[in-house]
Amino acid sequence: MILEIDKLNISFDQGGAEVKAVEDVSFGVEAGEFFLIIGESGSGKSLTGSSILGLGPQNARYSGSIRFEGRELLNRPYRELQEVRGNRIGVVYQDPLSSLNPVWPVGDQIGEALVLHGLSNRRQAARRAVELLDRVRLPDPARVARAYPHEISGGMRQRAMIAMALSLNPQLLIADEPTTALDVTVQAQILDLLRDIRRDTGMGLVLISHDLGVIAEMCDEVNVMYAGQIVEQASVFDLFDRPSHPYTRGLLASIPKATERRSTKSVSGSWARCSRRTSPKRTSPARCISTTSAW
């Protein structure tokens, strides 16, 4: 097991009450596994992912355990986490235009990690950046390396972010909504690229998404998050064939089908106040039909 998360809790103070954004989350990722965390906006999936490298909000309280290659990462000092960031665990975020520095050429940003970790000088890093851009199937990688982020398309920027994440040959890659704001064709290309990289390198891949339809044939294990908790864990085949939780069935029913003439179904109800005195388990059954019996 390359990554083990055990009883992770993330909470915030709000008006004197404790707001639980993530509650008792536990899962593990094997080396080479394609692992999916899925849920609606606000479910806690991205917060869970960012906490692995200590990149979550500084005003949050964290408890539980996050172990990578047997090494505890939760609440560790900055310098200790810097040794892991990029070097052992890479991250791809959902908005490459915000993640990339607008005043630096793309190639310089990709090579920066190599220089900071003392693995290359500037000239070697520049050559390596072109090689990485070629690896993620960008045409004319030398030109892209010289370009600024605003000079290339959204899909090209996302490929550049993947190249940056791969620059130090990490053992685990966390991809947080990597296909957001991309058209359907480019989404498929990005996901195919991630799948091929995982197959070629043997690294583990944690994909965070809200779109079940995009990843139906790609991942091995699926964790469904709702209101800060994992409500269902299953293989991708079991999840689509025999979803056990009402919220999961609601997510599947919301996927439009070209062969059916019907309105897209939504999950009814509204969120509860997730404070210490009002647990979403007890107060929001309308948000997830029949959820009282499921919990």
Residue 271: is its pLDDT beyond 60? no
Lowest-confidence segment of 76-90, 194-208, 258-272 by average pLDDT: 258-272
- The share of the chain scoring above pLDDT 90, in percent, equals 54
Q: Which residue has the higher pLDDT, 290 or 55?
A: 55
* pLDDT value at residue 160: 95
Question: Using CA atoms, how far apart are residues 72 and 38, in angstroms rounded to an integer?
Answer: 25
What one-character-per-residue DSSP string does the chain give?
--EEEEEEEEEEEETTEEEEEEEEEEEEE-TT-EEEEE--TTSSHHHHHHHTTT-S-TT-EEEEEEEETTEE-TT--HHHHHTTBTTTEEEE-S-HHHHS-TTS-HHHHHHHHHHHTTS--HHHHHHHHHHHHHHTT-SSHHHHHHS-GGGS-HHHHHHHHHHHHHTT--SEEEEESTTTT--HHHHHHHHHHHHHHHHHH--EEEEEES-TTTTTTT-SEEEEEETTEEEEEEEHHHHHHS--SHHHHHHHHTS--TT--SPPP---S-PPP-BTTB-HHHH-GGGSTTHHHH-
- The share of the chain scoring above pLDDT 70, in percent, equals 86
* pLDDT value at residue 284: 43
Residue 33: is its pLDDT beyond 70? yes
51-105 residue pLDDT tens: 999 998 988 999 999 999 999 999 999 889 988 988 899 999 888 888 899 999 9
97-154 residue pLDDT tens: 888 999 999 999 999 989 988 888 999 999 999 999 999 999 999 999 999 999 999 9
Q: Which domains does the chain have, with CATH numbers?
A: 3-88+170-294 (3.40.50.300), 95-169 (no CATH)
Confidence (pTM): 0.86
